[in-house]
Amino acid sequence: MFGSRQINQVARWATGKRRSFGRRRKMNRPHLRRALSEHLEDRCLLAVMSIAADNADRSEGDSGTTSFTFEVSRVGDTGSSATVDYSVSGSGSNPANVDDFNGNILPSGQVIFFAGQTSKSITVRVAGDRIVESDETFTVNLSNPSSGSTIATASAGGTIRDDDAAPESTLSIVASVADRDEGNSGSTSFTFTVTRDGDTSQSATVDYVVAGTGTSPADVDDFNGNVLPSGQVTFFSGQSSKEITVNVSGDTIVEDDETFVVTLSNPSSGTTLETDSATGTIRDDDTPTGPSIDIVATNADRDEGNGGLTPFTFTITRTGDTSGSTTVDYSVTGTGTDPAEGSDFNGGFLPTGQVIFFSGQTSKTLAINVAGDFDIENDESFDVTLSNPTGAATLTTQQATGVIRDDDEYITPSLAMVAANADQSEGDSGTTNYTFTVTRSGSVSEAVSATYTVLGSGTNPADADDFSGAVLPSNSVTFAAGETTQTVSVPVNGDTVLEQDETFIVTLSNATGGAIISTASANAIIRNDDSELVPRLAIAAVNSDQSEGDSGETIFTFNVTRSEVTTGIVSVDYSVSGVGSNQATADDFSDDVFPSGSVIFNDGETSKSIEVSVRGDRTAELDESFVVTLSNPTGDAVVSTGAATGVIRDDDTPIPATLSIVAADADRSEGNSGTTPFTFTVNRTGDTSGSLTVDYSVVGSGSAPATVSDFNNNVFPSGQVTFFTGQTSKTITVFVSGDFAVESDEEFTVVLSNATGGAVIDVGSSTGTIRDDDDSASSLLSIAAENAQQDEGNSGTKTFTFSVTRTGNISSGTSVSYVVTGGDTDPANAADFVGSLFPSGTLNFLGNETTKTISIPVAGDLLMEPDESFVVSLINPSSNAVIDDANALGLIGNDDFSEIAVDITRPSSVVQTHVVAAAENPSSFLFQAVTDTTLSLEPIGFTPDANAMQILDSAGNPIGVQTGLAITANLIAGQSYAVMLPSQQIERTYLVGSSAGIGAVSIGSLRNIFRPTDTTADGFITALDALVIINRLNEISGGGVVTGVDANSYFFDVSGNGLVTELDALMVINRLNSDDTVTPQAGAEPVMAPLTTPARNFESDSTVLLETASDQLMVENKLVSPAPSSTIETSAIETLASETLASQILPSQILPSESSPAVQTHDSEHDSALSELLLPSDSLSDPVW
């Protein structure tokens, strides 16, 4: 294995930074090998190893790690390399365990001695904590010395001293991710972190409740389950942080941002509250949209029934903006192979109509009445189609279908007769119809008939003289197809003969069409109504259907007649009342009362007139009806016709609608944040029978006019008001933005314009006043990012800065605290900051001081991770200050590349069945896409864990899409990819397929995406990984695009730029020199593939000696045999000395040789030969740069 001296020599050779020299060393290969052989034969002593504690009795610390060191020494034969394993185990009465060490594992590893080295240090990193516990002990044990070595002292002990006291436990809560959009549905998690400081050795609990707070407090409807969340947080021993998740319900309602507070209470014994509350803000993310209308069949697949109506129901729903009114028309049409017809519906026609949604309504039920029948027919279908939506609505689902199921079967028709109106007075003259109803049941699909006859019956039977034509009536009754009811009328003669009541019977017979008679007869009674004559009074309309006129009165006349007895004096009262669907009211008549009075007939008078005075007007309205009714006759008179109707015809032209605006609630304080609604009312008078719109706009007005910054979204509000039929009032809401600025009261005016529907604007504007409610005595504090987006660095700290500014009243001192929390996306955690704690602090402003800087120290690391965000929040301002802008965002850029422990395999083909052996690490193979294709990866005979299989791009990012058990990814020609398979305890089988065939992908890649500096993919980072690049550079004569990548190629492209250059070798060298934790490979190095072509000559101004490593490494002694030297002009390797590439190499990372010039006199020519190869210079002691 190469030591740091040899590594630095590789670096110096690779960069071409050679001193000028006057002689070239000649490499005599036979001489070199002979000397090496003699040197190896001289080695015969054993190396003896011992371990001793160096600095291994220490306090553990409260956080981070503390280094406990042990020295491993070697005596005896130290002329060759040697290794020995070490492991740590707990020991003594209080043994340390995995929790006491870094990474929560018992440390282990291997110590490597290079030739000549006699001492090595083992560092055991002990994890600090705040747990009160006993001192603990552990032992570091040596084992498995390499060949030629033995162990004298195999173990040494360490003591971890506990340095923790039992502090009081305190609890604090802070908002983590608690200022978020609510979402449109489901729930959104708002998180708060409860931290416990001090004594964490015991369990602790604390209750929490959520309540609305601020000017727009959240309520139960804003949370999951429609209840305000509450619960209890439990800390178990050792736990210092817990998260509270508050699930906020999403909606599509346009509303103000709302706030809530999570408050801690009732801490368990021994625990106190330091910060007991934190606030969350629910951001409204909804914008008003026109409503969407859908129709769906609800109960629309039904039997038609045999009679009457069956309602088929459909549900029409409105979603989106439901704040206004909306109408939509509907129509019914037959559809399908057996379409329904008009006769299938109520009234015998296809239904049409309109559905109206008023403000806030979201659902309407539409009933389509289907007429029942007895017809045997096919099932019939119909569509209900929506059209012509208003109110900016759109039709999402426009049509739904109903099915009328036929429920009829053939049943023998049966006829039954029943008396309908067959018990009446005969009358004094003319005829009176006595009626009987014949009904048909059973099948109605065919025509049937029957004969009926009339005969006298009973003790006083009627005879022919009682009937019209002086004959007993007879005839037939006929039912057409579909008819179920017929009426038989028997005309009875009236007379003035005083006689007994008489009876007759009507009988059915001779049924046709297969019908039977179930009830064949019905009885009737002719009532005698003859006695002494009396006066009879009747009213009739004469001139009672007229236009009302525009003014004055119009006389509507009615005639009352007296008949039969006209002698003597009689009277009768009359009264007027409204009647019909549009009834007249009292104000339609003179004196605003319904007319009434009496009519008096003197002896011999037979006719009287009633005059009803109707008031004229100019109101556009519907025609109205009234009735004049007779009552209370005197003089033995009777009322034979007691009522007559009048119709008041409207003759007025509609008056245009008139619009006026008035301030409703428009003189208000602005508030400090959010928005405050100022409301105005628009009234419509006159014609309200149709729909209309009017625009409105807001402008500043008065001596202190409002500006756009005073309103929501920094624009003057404007919009349109819509009146639907019958609506007379609408509200305009103007949202005014709150602020902390001390200013004058301001005015604005809402102006109406562009009225439609023939409307006129009567009062076109109204003024609002924004009252300033800000205290001039307060300071306003705001935070902004200053230098808050940087790379983290690999170690030390990087300072991120934020500025806090103060405006307003700055004459006195002010203070404000700040806290740091993780951001919403890829949040930073405490480990990203110095001390592994989220920074916090307090700023103190002196009088007239306006700016302070917050410095956030971010800890550098070597971890490959996403860019992380954090938020610096201002909290707890002093009483004379308010926070205007409370949050600023920082972004920690990741500048590390990933190195993942993966076993890289080299199968013969990508597209095939892969049988993968059991392995501790995940396994992978790297390949390139030859053409665009879709790659699939599927497990055979088992179900892997979620995300255990992956298809990765050249940056190591997963790009696969899970479909069932398989993962697929779209590949682009010329790009590199990898298949990652999970670690597994047994052999498993996977199938890889390609949509473009087996030739679309090929094994081989320029770059090891998992551990780029491991160019040989042997699982270790060694000098060999740099040397294979150097040899490759010599082979291809100075770098450039590499062609012919195949399954046996090394992964030369460390930098990931698609080229093989000197930078790739230097990155490996820097990695070796800068990271003490890189694990060298145990045993011998693998064989490097020989180079087939020596370096070619290049044209340049200077000549240098290029010594290439051409054969294979001599595995036993890790020696690269030199190839014959060749003289070339300046190569691409020498260009690495340029300022551009040199600036990429940190001087502290490529160290001068560890050895002094005296080391070159070592009795073995091994080191001398290696120096010739790696450092063609006169002195090893010269600095690298």
Question: How does pLDDT run across 802-839, given as a tens digit for each residue?
Answer: 999 998 888 889 999 999 999 988 899 998 999 889 99
Q: What is the CATH number of domain 47-161?
A: 2.60.40.2030
Fold of 414-514: Immunoglobulin-like (2.60.40)
Whether 1179 shows a pLDDT value over 50: the answer reads no
What integer pLDDT is reported at residue 798 of this predicted model? 93
Strand partners, 772: none
Whether 1180 shows a pLDDT value over 70: the answer reads no
What integer pLDDT is reported at residue 166 of this predicted model? 59
DSSP annotation string for 674-718: SEEEEEEEEEEES--SS-EEEEEEEEEESSSB--GGGBGGGS--E
Whether 1056 shows a pLDDT value over 70: the answer reads yes
CA distances (Å), origin 280, targets 183, 672, 675 = 15, 18, 18
Q: Pick the closest to residue 739 from 888, 886, 884 (CA basis).
A: 884
Of 746 and 906, more confident: 746
Whether 753 shows a pLDDT value over 60: the answer reads yes
Of 868 and 920, more confident: 868
The C-alpha atoms of residue 209 and residue 193 are separated, in whole angstroms, by 14
Q: Which of 104-113, 206-215, 668-677, 1146-1155 has the lowest mean pLDDT?
A: 1146-1155
- 245-274: buried (b, 16+ CB within 10 Å) or exposed (e) per residue? ebebbbbbeeebbbbbbbbbeebbeebebe
Question: How does pLDDT run across 494-507, given as a tens digit for each residue?
Answer: 887 778 899 999 99
Q: What is the mean pLDDT of residues 431-442?
A: 93
pLDDT band at 773 (very low <50, low <70, confident <90, very high): confident
Assign domain 779-879 one CATH number from 2.10.10.90, 2.60.40.2030, 1.25.40.10, 3.40.30.10.
2.60.40.2030
What integer pLDDT is reported at residue 25 of this predicted model? 39
The C-alpha atoms of residue 179 and residue 944 are separated, in whole angstroms, by 38
pLDDT band at 366 (very low <50, low <70, confident <90, very high): very high
Question: How does pLDDT run across 882-903, given as a tens digit for each residue?
Answer: 898 899 999 998 876 555 678 8
> Where are any strands of DSSP class E within 1044-1124?
1103-1106, 1109-1114, 1119-1122
What integer pLDDT is reported at residue 732 of this predicted model? 96
Of 208 and 862, more confident: 208
Decide yes or no: CATH 2.60.120 for domain 903-1010.
yes
Assign domain 549-649 one CATH number from 3.40.50.880, 2.60.40.10, 3.10.310.30, 2.60.40.2030.
2.60.40.2030
The position carrying tokens 């309504």 is 361
Q: Which of 317-331, 481-495, 693-707, 1144-1158 has the lowest mean pLDDT?
A: 1144-1158
Phi, psi of 837 (to 5 degrees): -130, 145
In a 3-state reduction of DSSP, which class is residue 466?
helix
CA distances (Å), origin 1174, targets 285, 1108, 1137 = 66, 9, 17
Whether 1122 shows a pLDDT value over 60: the answer reads no
Q: What is the mean pLDDT of residues 979-996?
A: 90
Per-domain boundaries in the chain: 4-42+1059-1174, 47-161, 183-283, 292-392, 414-514, 549-649, 658-758, 779-879, 903-1010
562, with CB counted inside 10 A (0-12, 13-18, 19+), is buried
Question: How does pLDDT run across 837-846, given as a tens digit for each residue?
Answer: 999 999 999 9
pLDDT band at 663 (very low <50, low <70, confident <90, very high): very high
Instruction: Note if the pTM is more than 0.85.
Output: no
The C-alpha atoms of residue 1022 and residue 7 are separated, in whole angstroms, by 9
What integer pLDDT is reported at residue 1075 of this predicted model? 53
Question: How does pLDDT run across 238-272, given as a tens digit for each residue?
Answer: 899 999 999 999 988 888 899 999 999 999 988 99
In a 3-state reduction of DSSP, which class is residue 6?
helix
Domain covering 658-758: architecture: Sandwich (2.60)
- 687-716: buried (b, 16+ CB within 10 Å) or exposed (e) per residue? bbeebbebebebebbeeeebeeebbeeeeb
Are 661 and 766 in contact by the 8 Å Cβ rule? The answer is: yes
Are 940 and 916 in contact by the 8 Å Cβ rule? The answer is: no
The per-residue pLDDT of the chain, averaged, comes to 83
Phi, psi of 755 (to 5 degrees): -70, 140
Are 1126 and 1097 in contact by the 8 Å Cβ rule? The answer is: yes
What integer pLDDT is reported at residue 899 of this predicted model? 58
Q: What is the mean pLDDT of residues 745-763?
A: 94
pLDDT band at 1096 (very low <50, low <70, confident <90, very high): very low
Q: Which two tokens stand for residue 1046?
A: 């195949």
For a pLDDT cut of 90, what percent of the chain falls above it? 55
In a 3-state reduction of DSSP, which class is residue 293?
strand
The answer to whether the 183-283 and 292-392 domains have the same CATH topology is yes
Superfamily of domain 292-392: CalX-beta domain (2.60.40.2030)
Q: How far does CA 778 lie from the centroid of its chain?
A: 40
The C-alpha atoms of residue 394 and residue 396 are separated, in whole angstroms, by 6
Fold of 183-283: Immunoglobulin-like (2.60.40)
Amino acid code (one letter) for 780: L
Phi, psi of 288 (to 5 degrees): -60, 130
The C-alpha atoms of residue 109 and residue 396 are separated, in whole angstroms, by 68
Whether 509 shows a pLDDT value over 90: the answer reads yes
Question: How does pLDDT run across 648-662, given as a tens digit for each residue?
Answer: 998 887 778 899 999
3-state helix, strand, coil in the chain (%, to 5): 10, 45, 45
pLDDT band at 1173 (very low <50, low <70, confident <90, very high): very low
What integer pLDDT is reported at residue 1080 of this predicted model? 41
User: What is the crossing angle of helices 1023-1036 and 4-15, to 10°?
Assistant: 20
Q: Which two tokens stand for residue 101?
A: 């060490």
What integer pLDDT is reported at residue 17 of this predicted model? 39
- Helix, strand counts (H, E) of the chain: 6, 77
CA distances (Å), origin 1002, targets 792, 817, 856, 994, 1050 = 38, 59, 49, 11, 15
Of 808 and 853, more confident: 853
Are 694 and 675 in contact by the 8 Å Cβ rule? The answer is: no
Question: How does pLDDT run across 521-567, given as a tens digit for each residue?
Answer: 999 999 988 776 789 899 999 999 999 898 999 999 999 999 988 99
Are 976 and 927 in contact by the 8 Å Cβ rule? The answer is: yes
584, with CB counted inside 10 A (0-12, 13-18, 19+), is buried
pLDDT band at 801 (very low <50, low <70, confident <90, very high): very high
The position carrying tokens 């103190």 is 844
Question: How does pLDDT run across 925-970, given as a tens digit for each residue?
Answer: 898 899 999 999 999 988 888 778 889 988 878 898 988 889 999 9
